[in-house]
Amino acid sequence: MKKPLVGVYPGTFDPITNGHQDIIGRACKILDRLVIAVARNAGKGPLFTIDERVEMVRDEIAQMEHHGAEVVVHSFDSLLINFCHEVGAQVLVRGLRAVSDFEYEFQMASMNARLDDDIETVFLMAAERQQFISSRFVKEIGRLGGDISSFVGPQVAARLRDRFHLEQEDGKAAAKRLQTLKQD
């Protein structure tokens, strides 16, 4: 019997966007099993905790067509190649939005190949309607009160609105306390 083809799609997913979902859906068409690897990446200063990001990814993929592939979500905080070994992956899946993504991704793929040349990197081009979407842009638009509904799923949009509302309320409360201190 042929060994199942297992791929890892790594990312911070802070938050998961429609662009990520596009890559996930298309990767499912070519893989038997897809492991979505949510990176802790504390150095990036994520808006959401690792547990929140894993939960958001699980919620979003539960609503997606998997095309017969098994899809699982795990967090990781290790060398990506080591994580691939842990889950038995032969393929790394990466999405490319523009030529500017390619240089970074090419360097990463080359380094990963040096670490283990048995793990192949597969690049999937973002669908045209998703090419401009990034988690960073989505967070910035959401933070400024813009409509993010066409960039993320409804549950993710609600979480972002809640998070930014809390941040805005915290900011208003801090300003009020500062004003009170100035009056005293």
What domain range is 28 assigned to?
Answer: 6-131
CA separation, residue 168 to residues 47, 147, 164 (Å): 14, 17, 6
Domain count, the chain: 1
- Whether residue 127 lies inside any domain: the answer is yes
Q: How far apart are CA 77 and CA 32, in angstroms?
A: 24
If one compares 87 and 145, the residue with the highest pLDDT of the two is 87
pLDDT tens, 27-44?
999 999 999 999 998 677
Contact in structure between 59 and 13 (CB atoms under 8 Å)? no
Indicate the range of 19-28, 32-41, 59-68, 174-183 predicted with least confidence. Answer: 174-183
- Whether residue 82 lies inside any domain: the answer is yes
- Whether residue 91 lies inside any domain: the answer is yes
Q: What is the DSSP letter of 12?
A: -
- Whether residue 48 lies inside any domain: the answer is yes
Backbone angles phi, psi at 166, to 5 degrees: -65, -40
CA separation, residue 126 to residues 98, 106, 130 (Å): 8, 16, 6
pLDDT, position 168: 55
pLDDT tens, 108-155?
999 999 999 999 999 999 998 888 899 999 999 999 999 999 999 999
**Active-site residue identified among 33, 97, 143, 163:** 97
**Active-site residue identified among 53, 135, 139, 159:** 135
- Whether residue 53 lies inside any domain: the answer is yes
| Domain CATH number, residue 80 | 3.40.50.620
Q: What is the mean pLDDT of residues 75-102?
A: 94
Task: Check if 177 is active-site.
Answer: no
Among left, alpha and beta (phi > 0; psi -120 to 50; other), residue 78 is beta
CA separation, residue 50 to residues 12, 27, 54, 76 (Å): 9, 23, 6, 9
Contact in structure between 41 and 116 (CB atoms under 8 Å)? no
Task: Check if 94 is active-site.
Answer: no
**Active-site residue identified among 20, 53, 94, 139:** 20
Task: Check if 44 is active-site.
Answer: yes
Task: Check if 135 is active-site.
Answer: yes
> Hunting for tokens 């192949």 — which residue is that?
120
Whether 178 shows a pLDDT value over 50: the answer reads: no
The residues, ordered by sequence, that sit 6+ positions from 65 with a Cβ below 8 Å of its Cβ are 25, 28
Q: Can you read off the two tokens belonging to residue 164?
A: 């930014």
**Active-site residue identified among 44, 129, 165, 176:** 44
